[in-house]
Amino acid sequence: MNTAKLVYRYNDSLYINLTNQCPTKCVFCIKYLWKMQFHGYNLDISKFEPNADAYIDAIGKEIKIAGFNEIIFCGYGEPTMRLAEMLKISSAIRAGKIVGLQSDFKIRLNTNGLGNLINKRNIVPELKGSINSVSISLNTMDPRQWLHLMNPLSEYREEGFLSVLQFIKDCSKNLDKTTITALDNLGADLEKLNALAKELNIDIRIRSGLEIKKL
Ligand code: SF4
């Protein structure tokens, strides 16, 4: 098998594959189906998670090869499982320590929204100033359906859904851009998701289930 990638390119962005750990086992997750591969990249870092310096080095090497529009924390795992490393990488960028990257370079977090429960504190103040935008895979406004679709570990089942909602609200007040996402083929009430986005004045992205299959 090819060497595991710490960073990989997709759609003009550079993705940071920070961890394979995840508190959920979403019914739509492609990592199982694709055996930890993504467009020829091996994203399996389950046996060894490098430290922030290795990622900073990898980003520095990529920018020398070619530019990208955004850095996105999103691999086959939940990035906030490694919040400290994520913040170290962002801090290095904000401090202008990566040659070729402006200190205000766009940084996004793709997450299932469970970062507060994972880290046992409100992490939004730490994200503020560190990342610009967050994309949260919410998928439904129905707590029961959320349990079914996200399939969280037992310790996240009781408080998970409400914690994700609170995380979304806090992000909407503190970050430049907050987006909730959902798939159109999971039977969720999309009107309710649209209503939440409207209420909080945030973006919503409904992704096609077919599009996911074709990724
Ligand atoms: S949060 Fe992402 S990595 Fe984790 S199971 Fe869901 S889709 Fe897969």
Tell how far the Cα of 130 is from the centroid of ligand 1, in angstroms.
Answer: 23
The secondary structure of residue 51, as a DSSP letter, is -
Q: Closest ligand 1 atom, CA of 20?
A: 3
- Label residue 2 by pLDDT band (50, 70, 90): confident
pLDDT digits (tens, 9 = 90+) for 17-54: 999 999 999 999 999 888 999 999 999 999 999 999 99
Share of the chain above pLDDT 70, in %: 97
pLDDT digits (tens, 9 = 90+) for 155-178: 999 999 999 999 999 999 999 999
Q: Domain boundaries in the chain?
A: 7-214
| Residue 186 · residue 28 · CB < 8 Å | yes
pLDDT exceeds 60 at position 195: yes
pLDDT for res 209: 82
CATH number at 7-214: 3.20.20.70
Q: Which amino acid is at 33?
A: L
pLDDT exceeds 90 at position 215: no
Q: Which of 10-19, 43-52, 67-76, 202-211 has the lowest mean pLDDT?
A: 202-211
pLDDT for res 213: 57
Tokens for 128, please give them: 């503020």
Report the half-sphere exposure of 25 (CA within 13 A, side-chain side). 4
Please state, rounded to an integer, the average pLDDT across all residues of the chain: 95
Q: Which amino acid is at 116?
A: N
Placement of tokens 């009430």 in the chain: 189
Any atom of ligand 1 within 6 Å of the Cβ of 81: no
- Label residue 75 by pLDDT band (50, 70, 90): confident
Model pTM score? 0.96
pLDDT for res 33: 86
Tokens for 52, please give them: 């922030």
Any atom of ligand 1 within 6 Å of the Cβ of 131: no
Residue range 177-206: mean pLDDT, rounded: 97
Burial class (CB within 10 angstroms; exposed 0-12, middle 13-18, buried 19+) of 66:
exposed
